[in-house]
Amino acid sequence: MARPAPEIADALHLLTGDGRDRQARALAGAYLAVRSPEDAAGVARSDPDRLVPLLLDAARGVSEERHWDLVHAFRVAGVLA
């Protein structure tokens, strides 16, 4: 989880592109459990249409508070209206 946001985004793209959604959600959840919502916003910037829903779903799996923190971070970063 020490990888920079662009590398995490690339890994999520590869996993979802290969139809490995369960693994993508697991990676996203692990990332969100240890990194800040602002870091996750950096991940989402590369492809908001695909990654915002994935990350929000994973955040709900971490906690409701993490989900709302992520919504706020996405709005501040301009990746969520």
pLDDT tens, residue by residue, 50-67: 999 999 999 999 999 999
Q: How confident is the model at residue 1 (pLDDT cuts 50, 70, 90)?
A: low
Q: What is the dihedral of CA 58, 13, 10, 50, to 10 degrees?
A: -60
* Spatial contact of 66 and 32, defined as CB atoms under 8 Å apart: yes
Give whole-number Cα distances, 79 to 18, 23, 42, 51, in Å: 24, 23, 9, 10
Q: How confident is the model at residue 81 (pLDDT cuts 50, 70, 90)?
A: confident
Alpha-carbon distance of 7 to 21, in angstroms, equals 17
Q: What is the pLDDT of residues 6-53, one digit of tens each?
A: 999 999 999 999 999 999 999 999 999 999 999 999 999 989 999 999
Cα Rg of the chain (Å, integer): 11
Q: Give the count of beta carbons closer than 10 Å to the beta carbon of residue 12.
A: 25
